[in-house]
Chain A
Amino acid sequence: MTFKVLRPLLSLLACLLIFSGITHAGENPEKIVRLATTTSTDNSGLLTALLPKFTEDTGYQVHVIAVGTGKALRMGRDGDVDLVLVHARPAEDKFVAEGFGEKRYGVMYNDFVMVGPKSDPAQIGSAKTAVEALKKIADSQSTFVSRGDDSGTHKKERSLWSKAGITHDGSWYREAGQGMGKVLQIASEMGAYTLTDRGTWLAYQSKLPLKIAFENDPLLFNPYGIIAVNPQRHPDTNYAGAQALIGWMISPKGQELIGGFKVGDNQLFTPSADAGEFAAFSHAH
């Protein structure tokens, strides 16, 4: 009798069980590669365009975890992912030098641009260098939104401020602590300037009342590197999968796809893998 009266609860549980289908059918962990990467490669749609083709070619599924460069490198250091695709050259070199990553391969580049309100209140359009542009922003106390999340873009921004010798401690300087897309939205709501990679900017510009206020300074070069987590330090990462993805990204096919990826009419990234590195890589693996 008691079991009969328990029916409402039991049937609810049974429903949950049926709906849930706890299985992870068809998932072979050896065929899964975990890639920690930056919001700029993911939010722009590049990886969504590329990775299905990689899966077709190699059978590997790529699990993309999109975070800031700082967090991505941290995940690599802890062995929580198999490889990283990031953009902060000094941090990448340190990551490899300290033995967390195996070898850095250049993949592609774009550049950073400073975007701001269409009226350009700080007149940074007339600046000669990125450093001068930042000085103008600081001098006019124009609002500037920083990523504030230790991402590659944030690292670049901090290095520019320190080159300009400016300590940004006024109320005009806002740290958002969010991804690039979100920061662009915040900047447009606040009528503020911000530093962004060109790829994300091109993907978002049609939705924002902002314009490129300053561009084309060698300091704003933005190269992306891909690094496998050192298998000696973390033997149970999917090293073979990581190698397969690196080899594919720097192969002529991967490079052509990167160069051909467009949002609207704009190419977002310029492939830049070193042919010599690819030859050496193919030879070694």
Chain B
Amino acid sequence: MEQLGDATGSALALLFSGNADLWEIIGISFRVSFVAILVSTPPALLTAFALAYLRFPGRRLLISINSTLLSVPAVVVGLTLYILLSRQGPLGEWRLLFTQTAMVLGQTVLAFPILAAMSHSALQAVDKRAWETARTLGASPLRAFSTLMHEARFGLMAALLAAFGRIIAEVGASMMLGGNILHYTRNIPTAIALETSKGEFAQGIALGIVLLALAFTLNTLLQNVQGRGQPVA
């Protein structure tokens, strides 16, 4: 059995030698998760806006449902979509199972509740009068909406990063929906699971390092953005 130190050493060597397979896996992970964030952001923002600013029947229920979805395990999302997308399922005609699109779908579903919940809090924290003022001053609803988004931008940014952090690191849904196919649907977490099961710890650790580096970069970016947002004294 390799020592942790040895494995980490080989991991770094793999990363910096530009190991094509390793970087391909990293590329797939990023592509899928970026697209998933892109797809889930607009509906999540609208939902958050509705929850924060509109009063309608079932609003509280909707909040409860969304909060519940926050704690749904990725494998359950994976299994549900698997059943829907399988040839025997209602969406089987789409032939999406074991494709990157299926992974995107899974991650979109996973990202949505985080985005909606965190954006909801962010929008709620904005002074309600911002919306009314904008509207009174003759802004169109779209324009007033943009103003709100701008007021809440730091909270929204945090929501994006948190959602991205969850989906790029999740293994359950990607494994089920993508099938962990080499050069196609093998992403960082499924590759870590596979390499670990094969006893290839160096590969696993190398990919783990990439995830950590990514988390660090995103958080540093966030800190910077928020730092700039502080009012000048």
Residues of chain A having any CB pair with chain B under 8 Å: 2-3, 5-6, 8-9, 12-13, 16-17, 19-22, 24, 29, 34, 39, 43, 48, 63-66, 78-81, 178-179, 181-182, 185, 204, 207, 234, 236
Contacts and interface: CB of A to CB of B under 8 A. Distances in A.
30 contacts: A2-B143, A5-B146, A6-B146, A6-B150, A9-B153, A9-B156, A12-B157, A17-B38, A20-B30, A20-B34, A22-B35, A39-B197, A43-B197, A63-B98, A63-B184, A63-B185, A64-B182, A65-B179, A66-B180, A78-B86, A78-B87, A78-B88, A79-B88, A80-B86, A80-B97, A81-B98, A178-B197, A182-B196, A204-B198, A236-B95
Contacts of B139: 2
A16 B38 contact: yes
Contacts of A234: 87
Across the A-B interface, the 4 shortest Cβ-Cβ residue pairs: A79-B87, A20-B34, A2-B146, A65-B179
Contacts of B109: none
Contacts of B87: 78-80, 234
Contacts of A78: 86-88
A114 B179 CA distance: 30
Contacts of B199: 181, 185, 204, 207
Contacts of A16: 34-35, 37-38
B41 A13 contact: yes
B198 A65 contact: no
B160 interface: yes
B1 A8 contact: no
A181 B197 contact: yes
A24 B30 contact: no
A9 B149 contact: yes
B21 to A, nearest CB: 10
A177 B157 CA distance: 40
A240 B182 CA distance: 22
A212 to B, nearest CB: 18
Contacts of A8: 153, 157, 225
A41 B31 CA distance: 29
B198 A181 contact: yes
B123 to A, nearest CB: 13
A19 B197 contact: no
B141 to A, nearest CB: 12
Nearest to A183: B197
A43 B184 CA distance: 17
From B41, B87, B88, residue with most partner A Cβ within 10 Å? B87
Nearest to B145: A2
A79 B87 CA distance: 6
Contacts of B37: 16
Contacts of A17: 34, 38
A29 to B, nearest CB: 8
A20 B11 CA distance: 25
A217 to B, nearest CB: 27
Given A17-B38, A78-B86, A12 B197 contact: no
Contacts of A13: 38, 41
Contacts of A66: 180
A78 B85 CA distance: 11
Contacts of A64: 181-182
A182 B198 CA distance: 7
Contacts of A9: 149, 153, 156-157
Given A6-B153, A19-B31, 17 more contacts: A2-B146, A2-B150, A6-B146, A8-B153, A13-B41, A16-B38, A20-B30, A20-B31, A20-B35, A20-B38, A22-B31, A64-B181, A65-B181, A78-B86, A181-B197, A182-B197, A236-B95
Contacts of B124: none
